[in-house]
Amino acid sequence: MDMLSTKLNNVLALLVFLTVFCVGTRAAQVETLVVKLKNGSETAFFLKDKPQVKFEGTNLKVTSSAGDTTFALADVLQFTYDKRDTSGINETVTEPTGVIFKDDVLVVSQLKVNAVVSVYGLDGILVRQWKAPHAGTFRLSLSELPSGLYLVKVDNITYKIMKR
């Protein structure tokens, strides 16, 4: 690793330490560590899972009791602390957006050929994945999954669903 990279990593590590130290005095108001990417997506880590931020070469790695997640530093816009709804549901969508979940069936419309539909648990673990063999609408049964909150990723858009 060259001298510039080492200095950059040291500066970033110091900024993380100072951010954690300053935020620690307000811990009752802060519930999540949020990593925002340049493509507009966000990943939130609950502070109760004790996330730790590490810089490994050209990556930002978040390690917590819920698992490890690695981001390319070039893709990271910012990471910050935020108070989030701990249920994992931040909004209710009332208009059709291409994904509807009802009666244990996930209906995904307007898919392109080879589009990938992924279902993740809140711990970030992939539980189901499908690849569209042709364009159109697909009905995917989630009846075998236990009740709970899930994240459904279609292309670069993530939806939150609750299976009862």
In the predicted model, what is the mean pLDDT of residues 48-70?
Answer: 84
Q: Could you tell me which residue, 4 or 78, shows the higher pLDDT?
A: 78
Q: What is residue 87's predicted lDDT score, i.e. its pLDDT?
A: 44
Banded pLDDT at 66 (limits 50, 70, 90): low
Alpha-carbon dihedral sign for residues 90, 92, 98, 102: positive
Determine whether domain 99-163 maps to CATH 2.60.40: yes
d(CA 140, CA 117): 10
Q: Is 95 helix (H, G, I), strand (E, B) or coil?
A: coil
Residue with the bigger pLDDT between 77 and 7: it is 77
Q: Return the structure tokens found at 11.
A: 């500066």
Average pLDDT over residues 99-108: 82
- What b-and-e string marks burial along 14-51, b requiring 16 or more CB atoms within 10 Å of the CB? eebeeeeeeeeeeeeebbbbebbbeeeebbbbbbebeb
pLDDT at 40 over 90: no
Examine the pLDDT at 78 and tell me if it is beyond 50.
yes
Domain residue ranges in the chain = 3-82, 99-163
| Radius of gyration of the CA atoms of the chain, in A | 18
In this prediction, residues 44-49 reach a mean pLDDT of: 77
pLDDT in tens, 108-154: 877 888 888 899 998 889 999 988 877 777 788 888 889 888 888 88
Q: Residue range 28-40: average pLDDT?
A: 72
pLDDT at 108: 83
For the record, the structure tokens of 77 come out as 């816009």
* Average pLDDT along the chain: 74
Report the side by side order of strands in the sheet with 42-46. Answer: 42-46, 32-37, 76-82
Q: Quick one: what percent of the chain has pLDDT higher than 70?
A: 72
Please give the backbone phi and psi of residue 43, each rounded to the nearest 5 degrees, phi first.
-125, 125
Average pLDDT over residues 100-107: 82
Q: Beginning with the edge strand found earlier in the chain, give each strand of the sheet holding 136-141 in spatial order.
A: 99-102, 105-111, 136-141
Distances (CA, A) of 122 to 11, 21, 67, 119, 136: 32, 27, 11, 10, 28
**CATH class of the region 3-82:** mainly beta
Q: How far apart are CA 138 and CA 108, in angstroms?
A: 5
Distances (CA, A) of 83 to 28, 64, 161: 9, 18, 20
pLDDT of residue 65: 76
